[in-house]
Amino acid sequence: MVIWVLVQVFSCFGQYFCLHFEAFQLGMAPVYMAFLRYMGDDGEAKNYSYSLEVGGNGRKVIWQGVPRSIRDSHRKVRDSFDGLLIQRNMALFFSGGDRKELKLRVTGRIWKEQ
């Protein structure tokens, strides 16, 4: 069950990429997932790589991968776990404070493969 989804579109190298960040239930556990999709076909998507980073309290988690084509549904990408996956307790730890409010900062970069 998806709880919420945040989508942001970026232009990079004259191409468009779509960052997805969503909350959903994995079994009984709430989790968050971030991943990048390329607005083009799968063959072109393989020309790029990306990394996403989230952290706090002196720790961080980094995901590196190849963006999936926008032609793959976000559900297909999510269900394959092809992205940065963060359990709720870790997300709250990264958020600091009283561990009741989610304050995550996800940063990343995109580069073209040679």
CA distance 59 to 53: 10
The reported pLDDT for the residue numbered 34 is: 94
CB of 100 within 8 A of CB of 92?
yes
Question: What are the domain boundaries of the chain?
Answer: 2-112
Instruction: Write down the pTM of the prediction.
Output: 0.86
pLDDT digits (tens, 9 = 90+) for 79-101: 899 999 999 889 888 888 676 77
Q: Which residues contact 77 (CB under 8 A, 6 or more apart)?
A: 20, 35, 37, 68, 83
Q: Is CATH 2.60.210.10 the right assignment for the domain spanning 2-112?
A: yes
pLDDT digits (tens, 9 = 90+) for 13-39: 999 999 999 988 888 888 999 999 999
